[in-house]
């Protein structure tokens, strides 16, 4: 995955000639197409496309390209986003008391597997501050109670704004955000649920899994949406378990899947490989 | 998995000395223990054990051994079952219109992977009779309607009795059996549900999976119980899917998991590796 | 996977404008692009592309389209193949004594998962003739010895020609074909090797796996090439094993992976999703 | 996995009565058996057993129990090891320049998934010292060259002795230890090889994997042995890859499998679940 690229994510009503017109327009701008993936949902008559260009081919300013493409897109009625491969997304991590997802995200970022900045960590509990310190990341402890929820969320949003955040990762934050928060950050909050959704929604999924005697447990990363655990799913995975594991054992084993699923989802988002359409994702 | 063995499946309240007493009793009968697996559920204070003996060590008649062990088991308050490795279970397969699980079970039996007899196939539709004929297995077409359900089930039960059936495999039979039927065959009916339970219970799981936009689909083999899709789970598995698959595509991909999960569950049962306790299974 | 499509598989030197020119040419012929996948190997400067068109959009005869595209391809220096989605490939299956892959291929074809004709089965042993009869497929028993190898292969090739075969599947045929045979059928013979290549090449891979004490065993489907077990790999998979399995146990467990891997490889080929380049495959 | 247990790992020639005698001896010492797993390799006539006892049942001193069991074991000709569940193994991690396995081991230890002490990290390069500092673990930089190899290894061994090390984990150390070192630490050095052994032994496995065009890459954790990459395998796993990944891409994807495989192997060792016999492991 080269980072010196330009990625266009496009969706539109499907009709003949879209590919021809789009690739020809880009060719006219002198671009080589490094990678093009396209998918047409024939049930919905909708076309989704990811185009990766070589940044070295850019002959104009960035804003000039975006402006020109916008004109073309309006003519062709395309919805689009443009991602510049040399721009490093700014990611805020929200946590509660559990450290495994936090450790995983931060170490992957340090190793260069997640290409992003992590300017701050926000938590409603002070427990993980030492880990933030270990990695020299500013830590904001914003406690929350039923009464102070609105106030606390306002502080969180102010921090996100102040730090110019592009993406919020709820790495086991364990709080439900209010609809207005979610709406303001639509498609920009990734949450990890510690179960294979839609199984075991809500609280204590490992206890539920134990009760049901399942032979696999899973985890689900999705964009946050108004309805709890109902947002567009980005990534899921499972791990085999057996009768020997009680709820605590399931939770221990599940940490690994949670870590892996959340990191893969964040990576897909950072690499501009995800398009959201209604309650589903296209992950190229 | 040698078939010339004797398998004891045992469960009891956990207490000191059970293993010592049981293995010593068997040693006193001249047996070599080929394989012993034991698991104690410390939350419930319950011990489960599978002991595999060498049939060649048997010095008495079979009924004498069973009688003697029963005496020992009563003293020690053990629940137990004994399976003779040279006895081939008699399995009835119930189907509806879908052939993939039927083909899989029958070909695995022919290849010697599922050690059992299949004396008959029962269906509420005539569609799969040609497959039964291909493999020269008697096929009984017993149509069912809301009105004739009781009558049809009586015929099914009569067939199971007449053919001396040990295990019923519902290979996509798509009918809910009445509680009295299930009770009469408790722990002897294996069903395949075409979803990763408890997700997508009930009808049309692939349609539900499509709606939810999941990234994996699964299948679940369980013993039939009174409550639909709630019986003790024996085996589950999943397969990765993506945005390109519509409900029909999911169903096509799902066939493979259904096949695999059902066969593994049936094999575990036939190899006497499953103990049921309440709504859970211990699969050794 | 709709079958009423036209698939173009294209490869060429990478250069600017290929996508624009190709999609524009197809648009000029009135085609809607259902699906386009493209991959550029920047190390080799080579572009690979799979384009799926709607057969309903065809306005000319098939040969006229092919002729016209050939002209365009020559100008643009593209290598290409065209596959008509309503044409059912004719597949010959070659077997020896082992039935699991044969059963799997034939039952999947019957269920419509492998869209192809199977006009004949060829074997150097008579053992599997009953299975061919079960499915009413002509069976040709052509024994082979060191002396008669050339002669036998000539008979095989005559059969392939007579039955208008498009693809040969070696479903555990266990014989090495001579280079001239392989050359004549380059890219049209799929073989299954019962190990995770390049581990355990050659004979008795399960014995080798047991000796080495591996914790997973696998299978590899590849196009046959001059060098034994060295052809372009199409599909691989593995299954977890443990210390309890001796070579026979590994072989039994391995049957499942062999089946699955071979079927997936054959399906990818039949759906025109594979491009071969040197000793590697691009599987879209 | 309770840690307040006693684990006996036992192996011996298989013969009748071993299980009875052993469990009866332990019962005579007042022990409840929490968990017993036994496996008989009938090809080799060898029995392997893992017995987990409740530490709370201990009535004597530890050395008295070990002495008494040793007497019993000598009579019965058992090889055995005893592990005390409240003892935390002391693990030295050896690294070179790559951080992903180091991060993984250290964070898992901090989260309590790997129950052990990590008193020091040893490296032939200074690159990872900052990570050691982050986690406040002493870091020893011992450079190595062809000339100084013997000398450097002597220093390493002195450190292992001085820090009372029980287990050495080569977390991508990338150096071959001399036979005398390995012999001195037989069964106490775990190495990760970044390929699915026996495929791609030796240097640059990801380059080899790319050349061969495999569709999965893997990792192997094994005890170090005299012959490079030939020691008893503890754990293996793979991940699916495709044609888009060049050697660097394979290496990036492979990091995840390496991490997971090494951690699982170390955990199995720390939980006293591994018995070595000749060149194979029994992992209970």
Mean residue pLDDT of chain C comes to 95
What is the tally of structural domains in chain D? 2
- The domain spanning residue B99 has which CATH number? 3.40.50.170
Q: What angle do CA A10, A14, D242 make, to 5 degrees?
A: 55
Sign of the alpha-carbon dihedral angle for C170, C175, C181, C183: positive
CB contact under 8 A, B27 and D16: yes
- My answer on whether B77 and B95 are in the same domain is no
Q: How many CB pairs under 8 A join A and B?
A: 81
CA distance A37 to chain D (A): 13
The residue among A53, A84, A115 that closes a domain is: A84
CB contact under 8 A, C200 and D196: no
DSSP, res A143: -
The answer to whether residues B10 and B150 belong to one domain is no
The residues that bridge with B237 in the sheet, in sequence order, are B219
- Residues C184-222 pLDDT 10s: 999 999 999 999 988 888 889 999 999 999 999 999 999
In the beta sheet, which residues pair with residue C170? C94, C191
B37, D40: Cβ pair inside 8 Å?
no
Same domain, C223 and C114: yes
Closest Cα in chain A, distance from residue B3 (Å):
25
A100, A113, A255: residue with CB nearest D252 = A113
Q: Which residues are registered as beta bridge partners of C168? A: C92, C189
Average the pLDDT over A4-8 and give the result.
95
pLDDT, tens digit, for every residue of A72-90? 999 999 999 999 999 999 9
Are the CB atoms for A179 and A206 separated by under 8 Å? no
- Residue of C229, C237, C246, C256 marked catalytic: C229
Q: Is B70 an annotated catalytic residue?
A: no
Which pLDDT score, from 0 to 100, does residue D3 have?
54
> Are the beta carbons of C262 and D244 closer than 8 angstroms?
no
Locus of tokens 């000319």: C60
* Rounded Cα gap, residues D184 and D81, in angstroms: 18
Chain segment A125-176, per-residue pLDDT in tens = 999 999 999 999 999 999 999 999 999 999 999 999 999 999 999 999 999 9
Region A98-105: mean pLDDT is 98
Mutate one of C18, C32, C43 to test the A interface: name it (highest A CB count within 10 A). C32
Interface test with C, best of A15, A20, A242 (most C CBs within 10 A): A20
Closest CA to C195 of C141, C239, C152, C148: C239
Same domain, C273 and C205: yes
Q: Write down the catalytic residue from B41, B229, B237, B256.
A: B229
- Active-site residue (options: A70, A229, A246, A252): A229
pLDDT at D14: 94
Nearest to B215 among A200, A213, A233 (CB): A233
Structure tokens at B31: 């047996």
Q: At how many degrees (to 10) do helices C247-270 and C100-110 cross?
A: 30
| High-pLDDT (> 70) share of chain D, % | 99
Neighbours of chain B (3+ CB pairs under 8 A): A, C, D
Chains that touch A (3 or more CB pairs under 8 A): B, C, D
Q: What is the largest CA-CA distance in chain B?
A: 63
pLDDT averaged over 10-residue windows placed end to end, chain B, 284 residues: 82 96 97 93 93 95 97 98 96 97 98 97 98 98 95 97 98 94 97 91 89 95 91 97 94 96 98 96 96
pLDDT at C226: 86
Considering only CB atoms, B134 lies closest to which of C99, C134, C255, namely: C134
Structural domain ending residue among the three candidates C53, C68, C84: C84
Q: How much is the average pLDDT of C143-158?
A: 96
Share of chain C above pLDDT 90, in %: 92
Mean pLDDT, all residues of chain D: 95
Residues C174 and C262 in one domain: yes
Statement to judge: residues A94 and A66 lie in one domain: no
Host domain of residue A9: 5-84
Q: What is the pTM of this model?
A: 0.95
Q: Is the peptide bond before D198 cis (omega within 30 degrees of 0)?
A: yes
Local structure of B278: helix, strand or coil: coil
> Nearest chain C Cα to D201, which residue?
C199
Segment D187-196 mean pLDDT: 95
Phi, psi of B239 (to 5 degrees): -140, 145
A199, A243: one domain:
yes
Contact C30 A16 (CB under 8 A): yes
pLDDT in tens, A231-244: 999 999 999 999 99
Q: How far apart are CA D93 and CA D179, in angstroms?
A: 19
d(CA A280, CA B164): 50
Q: pLDDT tens across D41-100, in order?
A: 988 999 999 999 999 999 999 999 999 999 999 999 999 999 999 999 999 999 999 999
Helix (H) or strand (E) segment spanning residue D271: none
pLDDT over 70 at D282, yes or no: yes
Scanning the structure block, which residue is given the tokens 């260069």? A112
Residues C84 and C3: beta-carbon distance below 8 Å: no
Contact check, Cβ <8 Å, C42/A31: no
Which residue of chain A is at minimal alpha-carbon distance from B265?
A215
| Contact state of C215 with D238 under an 8 Å Cβ cutoff | no
Indicate if B133 and B153 belong to the same structural domain. Answer: yes
The enclosing domain of B56 has a CATH number of 3.30.70.260
Decide if pLDDT at C122 tops 90: yes
Task: Give me the catalytic one of D229, D246, D252, D256.
Answer: D229
**Does D1 score more than 50 pLDDT?**
no
Q: Which of A84, A103, A134 is the last residue of a domain?
A: A84
Peptide bond into B118 cis (omega under 30): no
d(CA A18, CA A24): 10
CB D121 within 8 A of CB D99: no
Measure in Å the smallest separation between the Cα of D117 and chain A Cα atoms. Answer: 19
Contact between residue A234 and residue A268 where contact means Cβ atoms under 8 Å apart? yes
Task: For residues D75 and D95, state if they share a domain.
Answer: no
Q: Do residues B121 and B255 both lie within one domain?
A: yes
- The verdict on B56 and B195 lying in the same domain is no
Is the domain of C18 the same as that of C140?
no
pLDDT at B3: 54
Q: What is the pLDDT of residue B226?
A: 86
């Amino acid at each position: 995955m080269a980072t010196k690229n330009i990625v266009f994510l496009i969706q539109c009503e499907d009709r003949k000639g879209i590919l021809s017109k789009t690739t020809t327009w880009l060719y006219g701008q002198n671009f080589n197409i490094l990678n093009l993936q396209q998918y047409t949902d024939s049930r919905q008559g909708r076309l989704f496309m990811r185009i990766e260009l070589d940044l070295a081919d850019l002959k104009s300013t960035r804003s000039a390209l975006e402006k020109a493409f916008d004109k073309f897109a309006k003519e062709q009625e395309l919805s689009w986003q443009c991602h510049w491969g040399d721009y490093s997304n700014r990611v805020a991590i929200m946590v509660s008391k559990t450290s495994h997802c936090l450790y995983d995200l931060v170490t992957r970022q340090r190793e260069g597997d997640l290409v992003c900045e992590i300017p701050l960590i926000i938590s409603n509990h002070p427990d993980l501050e030492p880990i933030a310190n270990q990695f020299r990341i500013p830590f904001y402890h914003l406690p929350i109670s039923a009464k102070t929820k609105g106030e606390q969320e306002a502080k969180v949003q102010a921090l996100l704004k102040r730090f110019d955040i592009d993406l919020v990762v709820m790495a086991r934050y364990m709080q439900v955000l209010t609809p207005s928060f979610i709406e303001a950050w639509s498609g920009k909050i990734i949450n990890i649920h510690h179960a294979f959704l839609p199984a075991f929604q809500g609280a204590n999924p490992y206890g539920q899994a134990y009760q049901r005697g399942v032979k696999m447990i899973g985890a689900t990363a999705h964009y946050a949406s108004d309805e709890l655990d109902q947002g567009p799913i980005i990534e899921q995975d499972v791990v085999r378990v057996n009768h020997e594991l009680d709820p605590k054992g399931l939770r221990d084993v599940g940490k690994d899947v949670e870590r892996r699923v959340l990191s893969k989802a964040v990576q897909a988002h950072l690499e501009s490989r995800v398009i959201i359409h209604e309650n589903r994702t296209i992950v190229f």
